[in-house]
Amino acid sequence: MLHCFNMTKRSKNFFGENIYYHIFNRGVEKRNIFIDEHDYNRFVLLLLLMQGDVYFNNIGRLASLFDEHQMLNIKDIKKDIVAMRIIELVSFVLMPNHFHCVVREIKDGGIAKFTQRLCNSYAKYFNLKYKRNGHLFGSKYHRKLIDTNEYLLHLSAYIHRNPRELKKWTNKEEKYPWSSYQDYIIRNRWEELLSPSIILDQFQNKQEYKHFIRTSPAKDIENNMFNI
């Protein structure tokens, strides 16, 4: 049974602190922005690092460790990110030519700064690796205010079911490594750098949330609700 949760409604024309947003973007001309697993891992790492207003001059070294273990287990880094946090990451999924995430803005201007740093850092990495120039993403980025609890819940289902579109991952989305779904229903790999409680607290247990993901009409109402 879902617990009642009321979300504050705000204007869609500006960001506001402690309000939730759907952030998404895709490759220019819908081209792939992730070619191999190292690219996916690099973007996940940036999703974690860029939550805090912290400068890292060793991202390449951190990326090498992350590729090997797919975990950010350096306590001092996590501590610094949390202390200087400008946004809170709630959920995410990376697909071959696009990504989605749900974030909560903690500091004024936090989402704009987070998304700019995220996309710019990844584009520089990608262009250098694949010896290309020009824009990687099709636009600055897209964002939608999450102004109802219904939107929040069904968006969560939409994001976590995205991997079903890939033949290899059909009905195996709980095993997809570049999504937060397994962090919701198995174990939160990222600990304090992923905050699913706004959603999970509305369900009695993880199994109930898993059932919701299986049965949500999110895909059917995608055109009306998500407009992407």
Q: Could you write out the three-class secondary structure of the chain?
A: CCCCCCCCCCCCCCCCCCCEEEEEEEEHHHCCCCCCHHHHHHHHHHHHHCCECCCCCCHHHHHHHHHHHCCCCCHHHHHHHHHCECEEEEEEEEECCEEEEEEEECCCCHHHHHHHHHHHHHHHHHHHHCCCCCCCECCCCEEEECCCHHHHHHHHHHHHHHHHHCHHHCCCHHHCCCECHHHHHCCCCCHHHCCCHHHHCCCCCHHHHHHHHHHCCCCCCHHHHCCC
Sign of CA dihedral 52, 63, 155, 79: negative
Within a 10 A sphere around the Cβ of 216, how many other Cβ atoms? Answer: 18
pTM of the model: 0.87
Q: How is the chain split into domains, by residue range?
A: 20-225
Sign of CA dihedral 164, 168, 173, 179: negative
- How much of the chain exceeds pLDDT 70, in percent? 83
pLDDT of residue 111: 94
β-pair partners for 102: 22, 91
Look at residue 227 and tell me whether its pLDDT is greater than 70.
Answer: no
Summarised one tens digit per residue, pLDDT across range 46-86 is 999 999 999 888 888 888 877 666 565 566 788 899 999 99
Summarised one tens digit per residue, pLDDT across range 11-31 is 333 445 569 999 999 999 999
Decide if 26 contacts 122 (C-beta within 8 A).
no
Average pLDDT over residues 104-126: 95
pLDDT of residue 70: 58
CATH no. for 20-225: 3.30.70.1290
Average pLDDT over residues 161-188: 93
Q: How far is Cα 154 from Cα 104, in angstroms, rounded to an integer?
A: 17
